[in-house]
Chain A
Amino acid sequence: MSPLSLIFLIIGGPAALGLVYIFVRGSAGLRRYIVTRIALTLPMVFILASLVFFVLRVIPGDPVSSALGPKGSPETVARLSEQLGLGDPLLVQYGRFLGSVVTLDFGNSLTGAHRPIVDEMSERFPATLELVIPAAILSLAIGIFGGAFAASRRRRTADYSLRLYSVIIYSLPIFWLGLMLQLLFGVKLGWLPIAGRVDAVIGTTLHHITNIYSIDAILTGNWPALRSVLAHLVLPTLTLGLILSGVFVRLTRINVIETLQQDYVEAARARGIRERVVIYNHALKNAMIPVITLIGLQVAILLAGAVLTETVFSWPGMGRYLVERISSRDYTAVQSVITMFALFVALISLAVDILYSLVDPRVRY
């Protein structure tokens, strides 16, 4: 079993079970909502996949010869074009491409070792997950607690500093933040490694199961490797997590302030409940509803940020793979990677919306 399908099983399995559970136990309204929402996801994936296909088809020149460069003999070019079916009518190619999206079998890469693209992705995709998930958690933690804290100290120094923080963070180019962290913690202080996923020597002892190195290290009980993997994770995660946290601080703050003006909060205060409890227990819960919606939209920013973070930290994930393949003009790989990103975004926003409908019963079709 390839690591990619393993990961899909680990994440997708419980998600599917949860969906079935919600579907069986939920109200008719909720059920209708979920069905409509899934039905809306399909055209989104379809549109993005089609967009990718037709945009990449505009490439001037023959993709095979530009990928092979001067090394490609006419025979190789002809053979590869034949294999890829580039001579077929556009609509036939389009149909074949849509088929490959459904089966997730994207064929072999045009350049390099000509390996199946799915195999390459099963090494790259876990790397991106390993970076993106802790970053998302970090940014949410900073965002929610920072935002609630700022709201509780409204118009005081803490509030102004946190607002300033979110504006400055928003203006920082993510790759520059990465470079500055590298400069400080990697070069000047020498505390943390600045490139790669694991120390090269220790990495050879790591047994690959899911290709999410930290999980592999725990599963095999390889503690030195775990240490090295975690050390390599700190700076990229910090970079990505900090950049995203600005928006969350801002949004949580506005929503908590708004919720604090509502009657039920006033009532809680009147009952003599301590302000801290009012803010963190009563107000924050309701204020989280719009924040959850935002998480769905932030996935796009998270992935775009991951491309840049991966480049800065030489992190062999999907974003870096995309940039590499673009430089080598390997259009089959580029097409597949972008399609994978589209699928990922669509699935996450689907999951977020379903969660949202569970949290907020007002959302129904």
Chain B
Amino acid sequence: MALQTPTSHEQEWREDLRKVGFVRRLLAGRRWYGTDWWLVAISAVMVLGFITLALFPSVFAPYSPDEQAGPRFLAPGASPDLPVLVSLATSGITELADLAVPTGEPRPSVGVVRGVPTAQALNDRAQELNQELNGTGMELRPRIARFDSLDELLRAVDDGTVVAAVVQSTEFEQLAGDFPTVGEGMSIAGGVSSEGGFILGTNQIGQDVFSRLIWGTRIALLIGFSASIIALVVGVPLGLLAGFTGGMLDRILSVIMDSLYAFPGLILAISITAVLGPSVLNVIVAIAVLYIPTYYRIVRGQTLSVKEELYIEAARSIGARSSEILRKYIYPNVIPSVAIIFSVNVADAILTGAGLSFLGLGLPPDTADWGIDLARGQGFIQNAWWLITFPGFAIMLVVLAFTMMGEGLMEIFNPKLRQR
């Protein structure tokens, strides 16, 4: 039997791949890699999900992140305090438009509680609807009757003194049990479709926490990916160069990189952003600087060990140029570990970025960012737990996804570790 050359192996593999298909092959991998395959698969799905969120936040977020979408400090799942229409359950009146009557007929009277802004809301909305009805022969101009308390008002609805009433929904819900005949209709605010619309609540200026979370994915991933890519683009060539050429250059670079590596990264990033001023780009640059030594050290170490291999010597002896050796023999050996570091590195960079913005350094203060939201929410820890709970949870999930992917990839790429 003839010895198989590497090229025929490769051909066989390609043939195989063509027959089986790439996707099926990927799926078949779980038989060999077991748990690690699942780890990578699950985290890859999570990562893809986060990337989708980051690319199209407006599709998933019900509100814009800066929009003052509802009342302040609304707890998760609680319905906002809206002016709603209540009437006798038997009357069939559920929305304001039901109160329209043909022009000239007696105008219906609607009750409100004195001193509560519901009267204003009712007036505004009724005028709007009335404009729309213009020319149809109908009109909507309710008479507003004022009562001293909600209890009194509801009793008036109950005995028919007023046709309907406009009340604040939360106050009404507290008394609703006492008036079984009175039913809750729709919000008169019309446009605001926020019936239970704030699943994670609202913050101190009435922004939707959920929407800010989704938009925050964008800035987190932007910082994580860009910083890691910059660090990679700078660190990998430097590591290759230092490891390959050795000598004085290697020694100087290594001392600088080791000093940087030993220094607390966040503190370095803090000082760099303090100098550069607050902007997304500056945060990215500051974090990228931190992670250059990580790539440098790994690549340099790998290059040093690969350089001593016999096949490099062989290549050199048949007259291969240095650039060729670097490109063809060393580079492919270094790449898998770089891929693993990259994944873990993105996770790290996201954490560092969040830390910076939590400290109030780096990002402009109005950015929809998880770190900024946490820092703002800390002041309201006594009564608004949701403000400090969800953004941190989001950070954890994203970081977990990238870390798990790195872990799984490490096991798959580096089977030697599987012995452990």
Docked-complex contact A167 and B385, CB < 8 angstroms:
no
Docked-complex contact A187 and B378, CB < 8 angstroms:
no
A311 at the B interface (CB under 8 A): yes
List A contacts of B351 (CB < 8 A): 171, 173
Docked-complex contact A323 and B361, CB < 8 angstroms:
yes
A322 at the B interface (CB under 8 A): yes
A287 at the B interface (CB under 8 A): no
Query: In whole Å, how far is B257's beta carbon from the nearest beta carbon of chain A?
Result: 10
Binary per-residue interface labels of chain A (102-126) against chain B in the complex, 1 for a CB within 8 Å, 0 otherwise? 0000000000000000000000000
* Nearest-neighbor residue (CB-CB) of A179 within chain B: B388
Docked-complex contact A168 and B400, CB < 8 angstroms:
yes
A303 at the B interface (CB under 8 A): yes
List A contacts of B277 (CB < 8 A): 60
Query: In whole Å, how far is A301's beta carbon from the nearest beta carbon of chain B?
Result: 7
CB < 8 Å neighbour of A342 from B263, B385, B407: B263
Docked CA distance A346–B189 (Å): 64
A9 at the B interface (CB under 8 A): no
List A contacts of B264 (CB < 8 A): 300-301, 303-304, 307, 341, 345
A291 at the B interface (CB under 8 A): no
B271 at the A interface (CB under 8 A): yes
Known contacts A176-B374, A254-B420, A312-B378; A341 and B267 CB within 8 A of each other: yes
Docked CA distance A304–B272 (Å): 14
A257 at the B interface (CB under 8 A): yes
Chain A binding surface SS class: helix
A354 at the B interface (CB under 8 A): no
B62 at the A interface (CB under 8 A): no
Query: In whole Å, how far is B297's beta carbon from the nearest beta carbon of chain A?
Result: 11
Docked-complex contact B275 and A59, CB < 8 angstroms:
yes
A47 at the B interface (CB under 8 A): yes
Query: In whole Å, how far is A131's beta carbon from the nearest beta carbon of chain B?
Result: 14
List A contacts of B113 (CB < 8 A): none
Docked CA distance A168–B404 (Å): 10
List A contacts of B404 (CB < 8 A): 167
CB < 8 Å neighbour of B381 from A171, A182, A301: A182
Docked-complex contact B381 and A172, CB < 8 angstroms:
no
Docked-complex contact A179 and B266, CB < 8 angstroms:
no
* Nearest-neighbor residue (CB-CB) of B35 within chain A: A160
B262 at the A interface (CB under 8 A): yes
Docked-complex contact B392 and A326, CB < 8 angstroms:
no
A283 at the B interface (CB under 8 A): no
Binary per-residue interface labels of chain A (291-321) against chain B in the complex, 1 for a CB within 8 Å, 0 otherwise? 0000011001101100110011000000100
Docked-complex contact B374 and A179, CB < 8 angstroms:
yes
Known contacts A56-B271, A173-B396, A176-B396; A304 and B266 CB within 8 A of each other: yes
CB < 8 Å neighbour of B267 from A183, A194, A327, A338: A338
Docked-complex contact A341 and B266, CB < 8 angstroms:
no
Docked CA distance A345–B263 (Å): 7
B360 at the A interface (CB under 8 A): yes
Docked-complex contact B395 and A176, CB < 8 angstroms:
yes
Docked-complex contact A257 and B420, CB < 8 angstroms:
yes
Docked-complex contact A171 and B267, CB < 8 angstroms:
no
Query: In whole Å, how far is A178's beta carbon from the nearest beta carbon of chain B?
Result: 9
Which residues of A (38-69) have their CB < 8 Å from a CB of B?
A: 43-44, 47-48, 51-52, 55-56, 58-60
Docked-complex contact A55 and B275, CB < 8 angstroms:
yes
Docked CA distance A170–B402 (Å): 11
Docked CA distance A92–B295 (Å): 35
Binary per-residue interface labels of chain A (337-350) against chain B in the complex, 1 for a CB within 8 Å, 0 otherwise? 01001100110010
Q: Which 9 A-B pairs have the closest CB atoms?
A: A176-B392, A304-B266, A171-B399, A304-B264, A171-B400, A303-B264, A326-B274, A300-B264, A47-B259
Identify the B interface with A (CB < 8 A).
255-256, 258-260, 262-267, 270-272, 274-275, 277, 347, 351, 354-355, 358-361, 371, 374, 378, 381-382, 385, 388-389, 391-393, 395-396, 399-400, 403-404, 407, 420
Contacts beyond the supplied A322-B270, A341-B263: 6 A-B pairs with Cβ under 8 Å: A173-B371, A176-B395, A183-B388, A187-B382, A308-B266, A308-B359
8 contacts between A and B (CB under 8 A): A170-B403, A175-B358, A180-B392, A300-B265, A304-B266, A307-B264, A308-B355, A323-B359
